[in-house]
Structure 1
């Protein structure tokens, strides 16, 4: 490899510039420590900022990228690292297979309603994870929805998400007018329903082949979002059409909740198109994946570069797990009762996640929460599932270690190795002050482990804790040993 290629942070060798847009420049790079390709997004800092404003913008970009890096879902393109060099933030992201929904629609026209509903379930899963972490995506649109080789959908551009209830940024905001909720165009506070509005607009476009507020000029699009109702989606059918119209309501309070949207989409797709399953694009639409000329796709609006993986042949071995086990079956209520004092409420929050919650009598809204996650890595190129999982684990360890320290209202401790949990494991604790307090907040201990090609995560969280409280890594470790033991049976 030529030595004159730019080396970012002493680690990421920039190979080629894949394109640039208003949000920044996207590069293909090699992570020289882990010897793998990554996507690097050079965030554009707006011009004409004062030194103080520039510092604020950079600090916010780094903080929000780090927050996005802690989001984990099969439908989220992972953020591995964020560095500051040359007075600019650089975001390092995963490489995945696929092509944007936007391009698929432009080249092939409208998609079948059932298939679009399946896409919606996957994207909704990603949004629910972000919302559970207090983050909004703010730029859900077809260009940021990636369809994998077998039709699975992923949501990209989590590089700079924003906290909930944030007002419009002083230095410009993300988003495209036709996919920005009315409250965002009015620079009012945003919430989860704003992202759901954008999801509804994206699914409308996929099933109809045109945007719900399509106009010739951006200003006319924005005016239509604020003042007009979209045409009823004729191709969607009565039930799906009614759901899309409800999601596009002007008033956030009138829109369905995420749980209501999920149930409606499940009813439209059936269990065979659950987001945890994987499907190919219908009919002739698979053809775009075959030519060698389509080995790489740049999605500047999505903030990433995506390489097409090997699509033929049996390839390298999978590993022990063809698919991840049900996380809700890895820890019984009896076992959980050893760590949680009180009646346990068990909820399957996502396909790969199960939450066990105890609500305490003392304290306003105080809870103890144990989260169990599990996902299986698949072969990628020349690497088998086990090697992919090892590299993912190593990358996670590096990324989490880099987050150590205090940033605004959140502090992260060091990353420690843990014995007797899977084949390798790490644990890290954090504390986040409550929005209305400087003395109490949420204490979290997160343990990540690997067994063969499977990665598991156990999160032990205690809300309404004093800032002086000691981190409780021991509970996360003990629960993880039980979960790891269940995998070996």
Structure 2
């Protein structure tokens, strides 16, 4: 994801811009959260490392509104929607989902304050190791499925499940992060700059059907299947970087070859069912992944 918005902050009730810090001092939201440095980017803008002056701890702070895609006429509706999303995310309490501490609304932005987590992204691990063994991939996949089930039970859809948004902590805990483009189940199909929001290699094929209902829990589970495939096979199941290339690859070869998946094969195939009605749900994927972990799997293939 690639946004680079200037976030609005509030210090004593007045809004400011993070980029003004060199001349106007640090940006502080609600007189409490001092923005220190950008630590990542997501669908709706940068995520900032911040200092909570009241509790004297470091947190992550992110704005939910993309003002470049919001006109004056839709600003009020967008603020209401972002407020509902922040409230819904704050209700999700699960060890495999990033913890939301606070929600703040300023004049033109809705902010969420989240737990600042240390660890490496799954994307970083795959860049380093190339592939993961079946047991480790199954464990990461199981924790992702558990997190997604908690998210979906709150009627929230992540919409950007991918290795870059999965944090793997030193003790092995897996946490879903970056809910910047999350939405609600049953919400209207949301597009941006002429296309469906998300990362093309992980987007489910039904999102592009003429009568698409928009994102659903099943589309998040498709992305889990892509991620599982990538972990054990060392590559993406469907080629291409643009939406049309990925969708063409799915149409031409809907059953990608599995060489190293072993007992994970049925899980991956069930998650990559092109018909969302026949795709595994989170609970079934969890049960199957637990079965995989109960039996020994083949070692990770060596890199060429």
Give the TM-score band, short-chain normalised.
0.7 to 0.9
1:102 alignment partner, one of 112, 123, 137: 123
**Is the partner of 2:256 in helix, strand or coil?**
coil
Q: What residue is the counterpart of 2:140 in the other structure?
A: 119
Q: 1:48 to 1:142 in 2, by over 3 A?
A: closer
**Is the partner of 2:268 in helix, strand or coil?**
helix
1:185 alignment partner, one of 208, 212, 226: 208
Deviation at 1:189, TM superposition (A): 3.4
| TM-score, reference length from structure 2 | 0.81
2:49, 2:116 within 8 Å by CA — same for their partners in 1? no
2:200, 2:241 within 8 Å by CA — same for their partners in 1? no
Count of aligned pairs between the two proteins: 272
Q: What residue is the counterpart of 1:254 in the other structure?
A: 278
Q: What residue is the counterpart of 1:67 in the other structure?
A: 88
Is residue 265 from structure 1 mapped to residue 289 from structure 2 by the alignment?
A: yes
Q: 1:36 to 1:132 in 2, by over 3 A?
A: same
Deviation at 1:16, TM superposition (A): 1.8
**Is the partner of 1:126 in helix, strand or coil?**
helix
1:249, 1:255 within 8 Å by CA — same for their partners in 2? yes
1:65, 1:159 within 8 Å by CA — same for their partners in 2? no
Q: What residue is the counterpart of 1:15 in the other structure?
A: 36
CA deviations on 1:372-401 (whole Å, 9 max, x unpaired) are xxxxxxxxxxxxxxxxxxxxxxxxxxxxxx
Q: What residue is the counterpart of 2:240 in the other structure?
A: 215
Is residue 201 from structure 1 mapped to residue 226 from structure 2 by the alignment?
A: yes
CA deviations on 1:52-102 (whole Å, 9 max, x unpaired) are 222222221121121011101111111122222251222211111211101
Q: What residue is the counterpart of 2:256 in the other structure?
A: 231
**Higher relative helix content:** 2
- Give the RMSD, CA atoms, in angstroms: 2.5
Deviation at 1:206, TM superposition (A): 0.9
- Distance in 2 of aligned mates of 1:159 and 1:101: 18
Is residue 152 from structure 1 mapped to residue 177 from structure 2 by the alignment?
A: no
Between 1:68-77 and 1:36-45, the stretch displaced more is 36-45
Q: 1:131 to 1:20 in 2, by over 3 A?
A: closer
| Residues 308-457 of structure 1 mapped to structure 2, 5 A cutoff | none
1:147, 1:153 within 8 Å by CA — same for their partners in 2? yes
CA deviations on 1:213-266 (whole Å, 9 max, x unpaired) are 1325443123324553142221101x3112201210110111123332122101
Deviation at 1:159, TM superposition (A): 4.7
Q: What residue is the counterpart of 1:297 in the other structure?
A: none
- Distance in 1 of aligned mates of 2:295 and 2:259: 25
Q: Which has the higher contact order (CA 8 A, sep 6+)?
A: 2
Q: What residue is the counterpart of 2:199 in the other structure?
A: 176
- Distance in 2 of aligned mates of 1:183 and 1:61: 25
Deviation at 1:170, TM superposition (A): 4.8
**Is the partner of 2:238 in helix, strand or coil?**
coil
**Higher relative strand content:** 1
Deviation at 1:47, TM superposition (A): 2.1
1:40 alignment partner, one of 55, 61, 64: 61
Q: What residue is the counterpart of 1:29 in the other structure?
A: 50
CA deviations on 1:395-451 (whole Å, 9 max, x unpaired) are xxxxxxxxxxxxxxxxxxxxxxxxxxxxxxxxxxxxxxxxxxxxxxxxxxxxxxxxx
Deviation at 1:171, TM superposition (A): 4.6
1:41, 1:90 within 8 Å by CA — same for their partners in 2? yes
1:28, 1:39 within 8 Å by CA — same for their partners in 2? yes
- Distance in 1 of aligned mates of 2:64 and 2:78: 11
| TM-score, reference length from structure 1 | 0.52
Q: 1:15 to 1:49 in 2, by over 3 A?
A: closer
CA deviations on 1:115-157 (whole Å, 9 max, x unpaired) are 1111111111111111212222111111111100122211112
2:65, 2:82 within 8 Å by CA — same for their partners in 1? no
Q: 1:271 to 1:130 in 2, by over 3 A?
A: farther
Q: 1:137 to 1:170 in 2, by over 3 A?
A: same
1:232, 1:241 within 8 Å by CA — same for their partners in 2? no
Deviation at 1:36, TM superposition (A): 0.5
Q: 1:271 to 1:166 in 2, by over 3 A?
A: farther
Q: 1:35 to 1:249 in 2, by over 3 A?
A: same
- Distance in 1 of aligned mates of 2:217 and 2:146: 13
Deviation at 1:271, TM superposition (A): 9.1
Q: 1:52 to 1:99 in 2, by over 3 A?
A: same
